[in-house]
Structure 1
């Protein structure tokens, strides 16, 4: 007959279960890291109007998997819902972060070899700073996740500005501000340890070829 305190036995059982759960979580995390190593996820970033979208469309036509930008879609959705300037709402940053994470995880198991991402949570971080919002828990957690799980390649393609910036419904920024925004993005990526592979303003085909050559050489 056991002389142990029933409460102590229950506690020990819970500790054992917790330990097992942590082991499983650690194994899952390791598997995730190994899977991430098989897929090369490259980020394309830059200031609004730099030609990033055209570059990505060309890469998509060439057969690469391209994951769409979240911010533009969130802006379009909120404006359709009657919110003229969604970027003035604190929830804007979390909405973008959640959609970026959702899209990344939806293609996490695809054996596509190379994936190109139209921006990343680091861009969302830069946007949050630009808009003057404090770092939200959702964005902070996602930044930590992509770091711990090594989601993205540490080399990001930085598409340089074209010398002008045409405004649109989702792009209400002057060219002068776009240059400051560009600098903030580059500083953000470098501060988190990323190497910015600069893609200068030139013919679209030349930009695409530069990216394809780099990816091919990287293996």
Structure 2
């Protein structure tokens, strides 16, 4: 099973992924942050302002998903920090056209059932601290959160809310819910 963890920038996704990794789960880091860091190292301080950025992120997401699948055998559950659906929301948010490669990738995800249709949606913490890769105000992050939620629902995903709270409680909720979903015993966080 492959589960997506998404939400607004600064909501705590990376902290949750690190907590899951510390508990022995396979996790895959966010691609956009890696693309931004690589482009900034080449001298482009704002790579997200260029339309080619979207295709680069989508390409890295696919490669990372394939690498995770080729990893250790017997690993039943993998957690991904964002997905190509997030990249679609990002393209919309920054006003870039959605490249055909991203549309094709999202279609592949649906056709092949790559990710579980339940997505862990990490709610904002009430603030957003800027970084070199995250230059967004808290107010802007709320709009980005809304857009992500709409985009995932439009593509037919069911969102499992992870409310603000201590990281260990959020990690435990993800772990428990994913375990129940994988076992086919239902979603304790779903209505």
Instruction: Using structure 2 for the length normalisation, give the TM-score.
Output: 0.92
Match of residue 105, structure 2, among 127, 135, 142 = 142
Q: Distance in 1 between matches of 2:152 and 2:134?
A: 21
2:143 equivalent among 174, 180, 183 = 180
User: Which residue of 158, 163, 171 corresponds with 1:208?
Assistant: 171
**Runs of 5+ consecutive residues of structure 1 not aligned to the other structure:** 1-39
Shift of 1:111: 2.9
Separation (CA, whole Å) in 1 of partners of 2:129 and 2:82: 19
> Which of the residues 52, 58, 61 maps onto 1:97?
58
Q: Which structure: larger Rg?
A: 1
Who is 1:11 aligned against? none
1:73 matches 2:34: yes
Quick one: distance in 2 between partners of 1:66 and 1:107?
A: 8
CA distance in 2, matches of 1:202, 1:49: 13
Instruction: Tell me, yes or no, if the aligned pair for 2:54 and 2:98 is still in contact at 8 Å.
Output: no
How many angstroms apart in 2 are the aligned matches of 1:41 and 1:199?
17
What is the rounded CA distance, in whole Å, between the counterparts of 1:51 and 1:135 in structure 2?
27
5+ residue gaps, structure 2? 184-191
Alpha-carbon offset, residue 124 of structure 1: 0.1
> How many residues align structurally?
180
> 1-side partners of 2:22 and 2:32: how far apart?
22
Match of 1:141, SS state, is helix
In terms of fraction of residues, the more helix-rich structure is: 1
Distance in 2, matches of 1:163 and 1:183, equals 14
Aligned structure 1 segments of 4 or more residues deviating by more than 4 angstroms: none
Map of 1:120 onto structure 2: 83
Distance (Å, rounded) in 2 between the aligned partners of 1:206 and 1:86: 35
Which residue in the other structure is 2:118 paired with? 155
Alignment RMSD (CA, Å): 0.8
The equivalent position to 2:133 in structure 1, one of 158, 164, 170, is 170
1:20-99 equivalences under 5 Å are 40-99=1-60
